[in-house]
Chains A and B, each alone.
Chain A
Amino acid sequence: MPASLYLGAQRPLDNSNVGSVLNLPAHHLVTHGVVVGMTGSGKTGLVTVLVEEALRAQVPVLVIDVKGDLTNLLLSFPTFDPAALLPWVHAVAEPTDLRSHGEIAAQLANERARGLRAWGIDERTLAAYANGIDVRVITPGSTAGEPLHVLSSLERRSERWRKDPESARGALSAAVSLLLRLLGRDADPARSKEHVLLSVLAEARLAAGEAADLEALLHDLARPPITKVGALELDAFLPKSERRVLAASLNTLLASPTFVSWRQGATLDLEGWLAPRAGKTPAVVVSVAHLDDEERTLVLGVLLEEVLSWVRTLPGTQRLRALVVFDEVFGFLPPHPANPPTKRPLVALMKQARAFGVGVLVATQNPMDLDYRALSNAGLWCVGRLQTDADRARVVDGLALAGAHGVHSSSGLANALKLLAQRSFLMRNVHASDGTVLMQPRWAMSFLRGPMTRTEIRAALAARAHAEDPPSERTPLVAGRPESALPGLAE
């Protein structure tokens, strides 16, 4: 029986019937999903539920976390015990709340228990979930989580140059852009001569099966193994004096203590990241909340090129093999003519990953900023409250692209969007026959503390590392709806 994701409840768009349990077949996500909604619409909660359900269905998840909200996956406690929430009370308590942290934790735990039980999730289910997942948080350029060797596709040898040179070249280009950005130089692959030269030098080494570490590139800049770049002599393309300046800045960067964190830690190895560890389903959160806008774009460009390369190595399947989640995709998948390094691999993933069983889920509060090609490739739409008429119009257009209107008129959808309450969404699944429906996500099992700082990530990882797994709670993970129907909901 195919795995299904227990997302909450649904009811018809005209609100003319009682709700029913919403179980989304997991393989429906291979045609990708889009979640849109303004701040406060419950978008992050819904994305968290989708991730949790994918993990319950033993589908590995890669989460790209721009704002820092999805590191909350670390806060998946196996019980309703208030003690688990105590360390996080300071972050959610109102400044005017004069109660002790213990009292606030007790109230939060009580609310959490009430909310989850109302959705049919008890401590046993919580424990099974918490003990069945392996959450890693990767923080490029920082040691708060696991650091990431973001230049690994540049500096380390890869079989990909033999098997799939096109994707290897894409990954290399992204890594060189990041390197030049760190040097404070022009990082545009189409414009920067330095980018072209470094790429040519690195590719010559990598294609020959060698590593192209920065020390080797410094050597090649000083004593170039090539005489021509394109049709031009090397000196005409980039004079020796400019190559020397580039080499000098590269050397300074190499010697900089702050640069060390960019070159240590986990290798960009998607296959390894998403393989189950000790029987647990992996959730890998790449958090870039601490980086500035340009660094985020470049780091995520490198990461997504790697994801694309990995996807292309997979055998075809129709089941959901892995889920890539990009929360707050605003600015990373913009419409034409903007073209950040993240756009090409994201559009390619949304076009091609389906055949390999990899679903992509993007979430944003600004639908105006999404490339229409990506929108038209999404089979699942969850639309929450939106702020402006323009946003609503864009979403209705997007639903039209996805063939989602069905029996509902554009104006009907726009009106429904205007009136949506918090934590309510319009949902359109192209695989379902019931058109656009109203959706209410279930309560998330993770404690939604909000964006986590680097210090908090460190603390949460440490707490998780020291947590004992209660052996009696190790029940097998079974995805899908709970055993009994929910109160107030029809089967």
Chain B
Amino acid sequence: MEESNVSSSSAVEASSLAAYESLKEEIAAVADGDLIHINVDIPTAVTTVLRSLAGLRALRTRLLALAEFDVEQFDKLERYTRAAFYANMLYTVAARPTESMPELTEEATGLRDLLYSDARALVQRGLLNGDELRVVKAATGYRPLANDLIALAAVLGANWERVSAKTAVLEEDLKRAQRLSDRILNAVSQREQAASSTLATATLERNRAYTLFFRAYDNARRAVSYLRWREADMEKIAPSLFAGRSTGRRKLGDDVGPADEPGFVEAGETMSDASAPPIAPAAQGALPAPAPVPVGLPGADPFIRT
């Protein structure tokens, strides 16, 4: 297994990039049907696993003796972990909005309503031509909102000398309308571009990398659970990624593995060996969480876990 080295953030980023690059083909090969729904906070999960690596490595020789144990996957656990971290970082960057649309929209809508009502009052007083305001539709959507602001600023600006002394609208309001309009159009354009390609790709990559990471750690935990059954210290060596969840969920048995899941059997031993520990759950919280149900299928987690 590779050595872990968590020193500075730049070093973490570099090692994560290297891990991600080295696993690119394997990540791309994860089938969509095998994807595991992400319901943990990935940076927290990564920290948990990196901290457990030393303890896991200490058990490597004994783990090798387990029949059907995938040692290659175990040896790549650190790289899977770092790659998942890097893929999550790429996703976070892609998903970050350039502008907060709800706040921007709220401000722009407020200004549009203000300008429009003042402009209507000026029309009533015969200071503005009502026909010029017909282009203002107060319709739904970001683009119509931006267009309304431009139109209102243009109409009021063109008649500014005549109306400036008769209205509460300030010249700064007109400039602000133009600025807000530009920002909305920019944000919408960027969002449309990003939504169709970058973000979708980053989302899928993250999910694939997470799937590899989760599988490797989950298998390692199952193996450790078997080896350290009597000591019952598996949670200390390789803590659950779901630790700290509400007791309500644990009560449901969500953190309890399926009873018919095949366990690992040490070479030379059989399951009928009386000294062999049972694979079925015995102690609450001592067993790994089951693989999360993919979204859309019966039993998927209804809540986002952060």
Contacts and interface: CB of A to CB of B under 8 A. Distances in A.
B41 to A, nearest CB: 13
A115 B200 CA distance: 21
Interface in A303-337: 330-331
B201 A369 contact: no
Nearest to A388: B102
Given A15-B249, A330-B140, A421 B201 contact: no
Contacts of A80: none
Nearest to A13: B302
Interface string B292-303: 010111111111
Contacts of A343: none
A94 B300 CA distance: 25
Contacts, number: 87
B252 interface: yes
Contact of B298 (A9, A14, A416, A424): A9
A438 B302 contact: yes
Nearest to A488: B299
Contacts of A488: 293, 298-299
Contacts of B200: 94
Contacts of A18: 252
Interface in A1-42: 8-9, 11, 14-19
B201 A94 contact: yes
Interface in A404-433: 416, 419-424
Interface in B130-176: 137, 139-141, 144
B58 interface: no
Contact of A440 (B141, B201, B251, B300): B300
B32 A420 contact: no
Q: Is the interface of A mostly helix, strand, loop or mixed?
A: loop
Contact of A293 (B137, B196, B197, B295): B137
B283 interface: no
Q: Is the interface of B mostly helix, strand, loop or mixed?
A: loop
Given A115-B297, A420-B302, A16 B251 contact: yes
Contacts of A118: 297-298
A143 to B, nearest CB: 26
B251 A486 contact: no
B204 to A, nearest CB: 8
Given A19-B299, A111-B32, A423-B296, 16 more contacts: A8-B298, A18-B252, A94-B200, A94-B201, A107-B32, A110-B33, A119-B297, A294-B137, A331-B140, A387-B102, A420-B302, A421-B302, A424-B302, A438-B302, A440-B300, A489-B299
Interface of A: 8-9, 11, 14-19, 94-96, 107, 110-111, 114-115, 118-119, 293-294, 330-331, 366, 369, 387-388, 416, 419-424, 438, 440, 443, 486-489
Interface of B: 31-33, 39, 102, 137, 139-141, 144, 196-197, 200-201, 204, 248-249, 251-252, 293, 295-304
